[in-house]
Amino acid sequence: MSGTARPDEIRKFDALAARWWDPRGPMAPLHAMNPLRCGWIAERLAPGGDLSGLRILDVGCGAGLAAEALARRGAEVTAIDASVEALAVARQHAEGSGLPIDYRCAPPEALEGEWDAVVSLEVVEHVDHRPDFLRALAARTRPGGAVFLSTLNRTPRSFVMAKLGAEYVFRLLARGTHDWRKFVSPAELGAELRQVGLRVTDIAGMSFSPIERRWKATRDVGINYILMARRD
C-alpha cells in the first residue's frame, strides 16, 4: 500500500475486522450513525433516495457498512480500503447479503476512472497528508459529481465528548481510536476542498438524540458533521 494511508491505522482496523458487523461491538457508534449518513447522502444524490444507475466509490470502506447501505438503494458501488482483514470480512458479508459490491484493496491515489459520487466517511481524521487525500478524491469524481465526507470538528467540546467521553468514560470506542489533533473544522476542510476543485454545497451536524435513541441531522457542527462538495 502507498499514498496517504497510515500503517498504524491499518493495523488498528485490521484488529477490529472480525467484530465490525457486531452492532454492539467496537463499531457500534458507526452502526448507529450509518442510517443518517447514508440517508443524507442518498437524498442529495437522487429524488427519494433511489440511487439506481449511479456509480459510487466508497473510500475507506472498512467492512462495508456504508457500501452495503448504498448498494441496497440501487447504487453500483466500488469500495476500497487499506485493511486486508476488513475487506475480507466485507466481501464475505456482501456475498451473504447478495450484494455485488466491487471491493478492492487500494488507495484512491492508485485508482483510475471517475465516479458519480465519492464517499469517505469517518476517514479524513485517520489519513496522512489530508490535502493529498482530498486531491485523490476529487480526481476520482466526474465533473458535476459530488464528494461526501463525514468527520469530527476540532473543538474543545469534541475533545471532551468524542475523545475523552467516547474512549475513556463511556468506552463507546477503543482507546486510541482518534487523535484529536487530526480533527478538522468545517472552515479548514472547506478551504482544502476548494484548493482541489471542490465546492462545499451542503453541510449538517450529526447529533445523537438520547430521547429518540438515534442520530439526527442538526445545525450543530461542533462535534460530528457531514458535508457535500461538488466538482465543477
Domain segments of the chain: what residues?
7-231
Q: Say whether 232 sits in a helix, a strand or coil.
A: coil
- The number of CA neighbours under 13 Å toward the Cβ of 78 is 19
Q: Thinking of the domain 7-231, which architecture would CATH place it in?
A: 3-Layer(aba) Sandwich (3.40)
- Known binding residue 227? Answer is no
50 Cα distance to chain centroid: 20
37 assigned ligand-binding residue:
yes
Q: What is the pLDDT along the chain (232 residues), one digit of tens a residue?
A: 446 877 887 888 888 899 999 999 988 889 999 999 999 999 999 989 999 999 999 999 999 999 999 999 999 999 999 999 999 999 999 999 999 999 999 999 999 999 999 999 999 998 989 999 999 999 999 999 999 999 999 998 887 766 555 555 456 566 657 676 889 999 999 999 999 999 999 999 999 887 887 899 999 999 999 999 999 9
H or E element at residue 96: helix 84-97
DSSP 220: -
> pTM of the predicted model, to two decimals?
0.91
- Measured CA to CA in angstroms, residue 33 lies from 29, 69, 115, 178, 191 at distances of 6, 12, 24, 17, 26
Q: What is the pLDDT of residue 164?
A: 54
